[in-house]
């Protein structure tokens, strides 16, 4: 449905080094379903995107700073991957606090690839069933998560996926979860 998420406002938290397709494709799916998206980051201006972590892939305009954002203003949170992006986010106290506080609301959160690194740093991975890019699964296990190797893992309000190959299923699962939240409201 083209309007199933009308009125929903989704925060996308990303920094320089974000994997372009992991921001672009889910954002497009959200917008196609009628949601409004807002890119939050660590600095104003633009963030640098990458393809396969190595190749420059243009930029995305930042809509607001995470340090000024309120979880109450959003209905969902998207955490795209790439290795550099979540590595920067997990080192920023404002970004970590935003993720921790957002997870505490019970609102939908979706994270793909290396994005769960920020969930680990926020202390919200313990006891949750997650998937991720293979190289960070040990980090997730060490943080107390139950790690699975599935296209999409859903644990309550949390959706995770492994890599860009999973983007169609990941995006659909997030849109579906956000739509279900609207039905309960």
| Integer Cα distance of 171 and 92 in angstroms | 26
Residue 175's closest CA among 32, 39, 40, 14?
32
Judge whether 43 counts as a catalytic residue. no
Task: Say which of 20, 107, 114, 137 is annotated catalytic.
Answer: 114
Q: N- to C-terminal Cα distance for the chain?
A: 18
Hey, which bits of 34-102 come out as E strands? 36-41, 46-51, 55-61, 64-65, 76-79
> What does each C-alpha distance from 2 to 21, 110, 150, 161, 175 come to in angstroms?
21, 20, 27, 24, 11
What residues are annotated to the active site? 114
């Amino acid at each position: 449905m083209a309007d199933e998420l009308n009125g929903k406002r989704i925060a996308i938290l990303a920094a320089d080094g974000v994997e372009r397709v992991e921001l672009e494709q889910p954002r497009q799916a959200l917008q196609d379903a009628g949601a409004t998206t807002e890119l939050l980051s660590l600095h104003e201006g633009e963030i640098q995107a990458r393809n396969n972590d190595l190749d420059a892939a243009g930029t995305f305009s930042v809509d607001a700073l995470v340090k000024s954002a309120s979880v109450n203003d959003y209905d969902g949170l998207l955490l795209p991957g790439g290795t550099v992006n979540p590595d920067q986010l997990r080192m920023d106290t404002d970004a970590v606090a935003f993720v921790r506080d957002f997870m505490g609301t019970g609102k939908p959160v979706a994270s793909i690839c290396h994005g769960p690194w920020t969930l680990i740093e926020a202390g919200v991975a313990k006891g949750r069933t997650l998937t991720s890019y293979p190289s960070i699964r040990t980090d997730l296990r060490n943080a107390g998560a139950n790690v699975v190797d599935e296209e999409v893992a859903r644990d309550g309000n949390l959706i995770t996926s492994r890599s860009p190959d999973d983007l169609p299923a990941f995006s659909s699962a997030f849109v579906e979860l956000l739509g279900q939240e609207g039905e309960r409201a």
